Structure 1
Amino acid sequence: MESDEEGIYDVESDASINYNSSDDGIYSEGENTAHGEANDFMDEPTSYKCLTSDQIFNYMMKVVDEVNAILQLPPHITCILLNHFKWDKEKLMERYYEGDQDKIFEEAQTINPFRLKGKVVSSNTNNITSFSMQSTKRPLTTQEVCDICYLPSQHMNGLQCGHFFCIDCWNEYLRIKIIDEGQGQKIACPANDCNILTDYETILSLLRGSDIKTKYHQRLTDGFVMSHHLMKWCPSPGCSVVVKVTTAGTRNVTCICGHAFCFHCLQPIHEPVRCPLLKKWLRKCNDDSETAHWISANTKECPKCRATIEKNGGCNHMICQNKSCKFDFCWICLSAWSPHGSSWYNCNRYDANDSVAARTAQEKSRAALNRYLFYCDRYMNHRQSLELEHKLYSKIKFKMEEMQQHNMSWIEVQFLKKAVDILCKCRNTLKYTYVFAFYLRSNNQATIFEANQKDLEMATERLSEYLERDVTTDELSNIKQKVQDKAKYCEGRCEALLRHVYEGYDMDLWEYLDE
């Protein structure tokens, strides 16, 4: 919700919120986040903030004031310099005090205000604007010729570079730059041979109409966010919130709209696989679009009677509805379900011996395709299961209401929602473990990873099956203990898998295939 006084955003009513008065009342998340997914499992505790458009502009001006308090420059010049250095205050001040200040101003496409020797008074304001020309001041009390339309006008305005244009030409030029070209931070002087940037104060004083001023304000904040190395727009469609992290190492964040994503690549949270491998995987899936389309089909044949079966739930334990069959099997590997609970059964491990010996180029290509299909099939299946299991929230909601009618409080029945949260998180992790495993070279660490993956998969299937089938029929007195036990075990297996993966990252234990 939004605070009436400071515009502070909260994700959930029971979330732990840190209020920082020095940051203009911006919503902040720390180690204890509302969704518990602000950071990777092995990340150091970090924080991030969610900012609205108005808060972004206020924060931008605050940064300008902080830097200007040290550099003692006009605010609009400081803004241009900061934008040149991608709003990295430390980098700007380090370069500024290294010595060659004129070069910094030249690179930033502005003029050193300490080098200005002339003064010019704008004809339509009482402000005195400095410019770098050493020539005589232009008498703006008489009609002057615009450098664009070449028509005389008594309302001229110019930049520090000394180029003057009439108000009408200024407005048309700015309209094209802001509306048509989408520029904001880097609008240069209209003169063909000049690259001096127009500052925001000049632009705001020249623009006519509230609509274009609003659009310029939006372009200005867009450019600020795009150039700031610690800010990203939330990628959720229709969301206009910016997430600002405090350190570049922060990966997993959750916007106030509820969308959780990776700050580095803007993809949904993809633990345990890192961004470069995920990028390769998505590119590979896109290249093999026809194959990916085929393997993502919603139907499969029963391995016993060949009856066509459509999956309508997240659980992978399937029972053929053919009255003469009733075969129990695994939707992933199509094998009988009975051995899946045994410790020796490996539904999650790719067996290279199952592929034909690759002796020719054609056989190698076929073996590579079979291997890709193996991992992609499981990746797509867990993605489909995750989408279907989101429907569990509405199903569980009715169960929670039913339990409240049997003398259980609203707080006491929240264990069901938490269990579905854990299920979805584990299912999402499982989905990306197959991306990680596809590129992983076989060694002892890979074997341990596959064992953890199998344990997590078995725990996730047990929790999914119970929530989808048994929770609606079991006695109320038995539900809470069973759900909590299964959810806690499932969460523990997920943490064990992630801990092992991140230890491997830290110790550089993982070896990758060149796929």
Structure 2
Amino acid sequence: MDSEDDFMSTLSSEDDVMQDDSDNGMMSDNEDFDDFDDDEPDDLDIGLDKDVVSDDKTKKRYDVDFKVICPQDIQKQQEELIEDVNMILEMRPEDAAILLRHFRWNRERLIEEYMDRPNKTLEAAGLGPNVVTLPKLEILPGFVCDICCEDDDELQTFALKCGHRYCVDCYRQYLTQKIREEGEAARIQCPTADCGRIIDAISLSVLVTPELSGRYHELLNRTYVEDRESLKWCPAPNCENAVDCRVKKKDLDRVVPTVECLCGYRFCFGCTLKDHLPAPCRLVKLWLKKCADDSETANWISANTKECPKCNSTIEKNGGCNHMTCRKCKYEFCWMCMGLWSEHGTSWYNCNRFEEKSGTDARDAQAKSRVSLERYLHYYNRYANHEQSARLDKDSYTKTEVKMMQLQTASGMSWIEVQYLQAASQALQTCRQTLKWTYAFAFYLARNNLTEMFEDNQKDLEMAVEALSEMFEKPLGELADPKTKLDIIDKTSYCNKRRVTLLEYTADNLAQGSWTFNSDQLPAATAAAAPAKPAPKARN
């Protein structure tokens, strides 16, 4: 085994812990994030639901438990909760649904409040006293609609339990506006101003078309998911699934809850952005804001800086003189042609310099600002490079499939035998996505032994990815060679293992609060909240 494998094996085998059989850190189906006591020990298994944890030995330490909920299951969950409340409180299912939505589907809290203050609870939810009569359309002689002022003796009318009555046409227009234009469903109130009565599903079904009723129920399903802290919609386009994950908001600084929908889309449950392991949501938000705020600065740097011809350090032309001296290697060159300055003669040393502030403090401030900017550009350029690679890989599957078919034709391999190319393509995409966010994460890290270990892991993964990428781009003739195939298979496996090693190392220290973040790069409040405990020694 080579030295890289030795290091990876050592790192992966340490700090394995037995999972606690208790249900610590979990929330029941009907509890909100804010209902939990924050005074929990730091070594909890964050986000792991003990009722669903399996003996899967492939489970990684950065994985969280989750469940994908299909549209029919979303409806089924609502119906089961409504039936439970209906049986306990003996009310119409439609009224039970309104109560559950008012309490954000927290069944226990609903029942407790109702038992203590039934009338007050019903009023707060937009319901009156329980009634058993079903809503119906009525024709009342001499009725005048307060909205359209129609007084036809054959005019159909409708009223909720509040008694505010209007003609059916006005009611339908009102409901159409609410559902189709405003996207409202769960809290549609009586048309009368200052009346808080909620229109239930049965009442609505006798007033609107089946098409509009279908849209109404779609919106109710969306409200159900949005009201539940443990549920979120899959953000992939045209995906109707939701994901159930029990990671709490207060734990998002200690875990990156990455989930994968049945459609194949991987995203962070905490912020719903695309998979950004290993960076926690807080740093991702700061990084994206910084990139947006500094985009014009980066553009200015691209237009107003050049690289030293000798050491490739970034040089800023901060004066009018074309005689440039690199601060790093002291190489003297001409800004105009990048040639050696000594070959230009003294006639070139004639310029109009920008007026600079005198004094050591001004120069130090400028130098400090420049160093800070160069540091940002170092991480940003590498982040952007991997982001660009990810964009170029969008059609990777189609290209790889074509290459696989061509390889079959050229070498006589079976479809199964060329699957190693698809595995390599997938590994490249996944590892590049991870590498992209390692640079955002590293930007905020303070220098210590943990950071050095992180950068070693980052370097190993990046080198492996570049090697695999080079192998993957070889001509078909070389890809058909059995030795090349074996090399690609081995390198694919190595890349995946290095990625796991990097993510587990980061996740372990994140869960323990061991990372120290650079206060110079964080807002004051955020920096104050950063872990203050000393970093443990890196493992050899």
Common fold: TM-score over 0.5: yes
1:141: how far off? Answer: 5.1
Q: Kindly indicate whether the alpha-carbon contact (under 8 Å) linking 1:158 and 1:165 is maintained by their aligned counterparts in 2.
A: yes
1:293: how far off? Answer: 5.4
Cα distance in 1, alignment partners of residues 510 and 112 from structure 2: 33
Cα distance in 1, alignment partners of residues 286 and 117 from structure 2: 43
1:462: how far off? Answer: 0.9
1:358: how far off? Answer: 9.3
Matched, 1:42 2:62: yes
Where structure 1 has 5 or more consecutive residues not aligned to the other structure, the ranges are: 1-29, 126-139, 307-355
Alignment-derived partner of residue 9 in structure 2: none
The amino acid of 2:125's aligned partner reads A
Matched, 1:384 2:393: no
1:464: how far off? Answer: 1.1
Alignment-derived partner of residue 451 in structure 1: 456
Runs of 4+ in 1 over 6 A off after TM superposition: 294-297, 300-306, 356-359
Alignment-derived partner of residue 318 in structure 1: none
Q: Kindly indicate whether the alpha-carbon contact (under 8 Å) linking 1:296 and 1:380 is maintained by their aligned counterparts in 2.
A: no
Q: Kindly indicate whether the alpha-carbon contact (under 8 Å) linking 2:135 and 2:203 is maintained by their aligned counterparts in 1.
A: no
Cα distance in 2, alignment partners of residues 438 and 305 from structure 1: 23
Q: Say which SS state the counterpart of residue 157 (structure 1) adopts.
A: strand
Alignment-derived partner of residue 134 in structure 1: none
Alignment-derived partner of residue 442 in structure 2: 437
Which residue of 69, 82, 86 maps to 1:68? 86
Cα pair distance change 1:162/1:392, threshold 3 Å: closer
Which residue of 247, 253, 259 maps to 2:265? 259
Matched, 1:109 2:109: no
Alignment-derived partner of residue 222 in structure 2: 222
Q: Kindly indicate whether the alpha-carbon contact (under 8 Å) linking 2:278 and 2:437 is maintained by their aligned counterparts in 1.
A: yes
Matched, 1:419 2:424: yes
Cα distance in 2, alignment partners of residues 281 and 49 from structure 1: 29
Cα distance in 2, alignment partners of residues 426 and 82 from structure 1: 44
Two-structure CA RMSD over aligned residues (Å): 3.3
Q: Kindly indicate whether the alpha-carbon contact (under 8 Å) linking 2:119 and 2:129 is maintained by their aligned counterparts in 1.
A: yes
1:262: how far off? Answer: 1.5
Cα distance in 1, alignment partners of residues 396 and 221 from structure 2: 39
Cα distance in 2, alignment partners of residues 255 and 439 from structure 1: 30
Cα pair distance change 1:367/1:423, threshold 3 Å: same
The amino acid of 1:170's aligned partner reads Y
Cα distance in 2, alignment partners of residues 443 and 455 from structure 1: 19
Alignment-derived partner of residue 374 in structure 2: 370
Cα distance in 2, alignment partners of residues 469 and 408 from structure 1: 17
Within 5 Å, give how 1:201-220 maps onto structure 2: 201-207=202-208, 209-220=209-220
Cα distance in 2, alignment partners of residues 51 and 295 from structure 1: 48
Alignment-derived partner of residue 498 in structure 1: 503
Matched, 1:272 2:273: no
Cα distance in 2, alignment partners of residues 384 and 121 from structure 1: 60
Q: Which has the higher contact order (CA 8 A, sep 6+)?
A: 2
Within 5 Å, give how 1:4-403 maps onto structure 2: 41-44=61-64, 46-52=65-71, 56-97=74-115, 99-113=116-130, 124=137, 142-152=141-151, 154-207=155-208, 209-237=209-237, 239-248=238-247, 251-292=257-298, 360-403=364-407
Q: Kindly indicate whether the alpha-carbon contact (under 8 Å) linking 2:230 and 2:245 is maintained by their aligned counterparts in 1.
A: yes
Q: Kindly indicate whether the alpha-carbon contact (under 8 Å) linking 1:358 and 1:364 is maintained by their aligned counterparts in 2.
A: no
1:94: how far off? Answer: 4.7
Q: CA-to-partner distance for each residue in 1:165-208, whole Å, 9 max, x for gaps?
A: 2211211111221122221111011111211211121112111x
Alignment-derived partner of residue 348 in structure 1: none
The amino acid of 1:484's aligned partner reads I
Cα distance in 2, alignment partners of residues 453 and 166 from structure 1: 69
Cα distance in 1, alignment partners of residues 203 and 386 from structure 2: 55
Q: Kindly indicate whether the alpha-carbon contact (under 8 Å) linking 1:185 and 1:224 is maintained by their aligned counterparts in 2.
A: no
1:421: how far off? Answer: 0.9
Larger displacement relative to structure 2 (155-164 or 356-365): 356-365
Alignment-derived partner of residue 322 in structure 2: none
Larger displacement relative to structure 2 (470-479 or 216-225): 470-479
Alignment-derived partner of residue 331 in structure 2: none
1:271: how far off? Answer: 0.3
The amino acid of 1:378's aligned partner reads R
Cα distance in 1, alignment partners of residues 491 and 404 from structure 2: 18
Alignment-derived partner of residue 310 in structure 1: none
Cα pair distance change 1:166/1:435, threshold 3 Å: same
1:492: how far off? Answer: 1.2
Matched, 1:404 2:423: no
The amino acid of 1:235's aligned partner reads P
The amino acid of 2:63's aligned partner reads D
1:418: how far off? Answer: 1.1
Q: Kindly indicate whether the alpha-carbon contact (under 8 Å) linking 2:60 and 2:504 is maintained by their aligned counterparts in 1.
A: no
Q: Kindly indicate whether the alpha-carbon contact (under 8 Å) linking 1:40 and 1:251 is maintained by their aligned counterparts in 2.
A: no
Cα distance in 1, alignment partners of residues 83 and 424 from structure 2: 48
The amino acid of 1:376's aligned partner reads Y
Cα distance in 2, alignment partners of residues 436 and 77 from structure 1: 49
Cα distance in 1, alignment partners of residues 361 and 423 from structure 2: 47
1:143: how far off? Answer: 3.7
Cα distance in 2, alignment partners of residues 106 and 510 from structure 1: 50
Q: Kindly indicate whether the alpha-carbon contact (under 8 Å) linking 1:185 and 1:220 is maintained by their aligned counterparts in 2.
A: yes
Cα pair distance change 1:374/1:170, threshold 3 Å: same
The amino acid of 1:65's aligned partner reads E
Q: CA-to-partner distance for each residue in 1:105-158, whole Å, 9 max, x for gaps?
A: 333222342xx6xx8775527xxxxxxxxxxxxxx6534333433443552221
Percent identity, please. Answer: 39
Cα distance in 1, alignment partners of residues 235 and 447 from structure 2: 35
Q: CA-to-partner distance for each residue in 1:434-489, whole Å, 9 max, x for gaps?
A: 11111111112111111111111111111111112366524421133111110111
1:429: how far off? Answer: 0.5
Q: Kindly indicate whether the alpha-carbon contact (under 8 Å) linking 2:234 and 2:243 is maintained by their aligned counterparts in 1.
A: no
1:430: how far off? Answer: 0.4
The amino acid of 2:420's aligned partner reads F
* TM-score when normalising by structure 1: 0.71
Q: Report how many residues are paired.
A: 407
The amino acid of 1:284's aligned partner reads K
Q: CA-to-partner distance for each residue in 1:74-116, whole Å, 9 max, x for gaps?
A: 111111122122223344345445x233333333222342xx6
Cα distance in 1, alignment partners of residues 53 and 390 from structure 2: 26
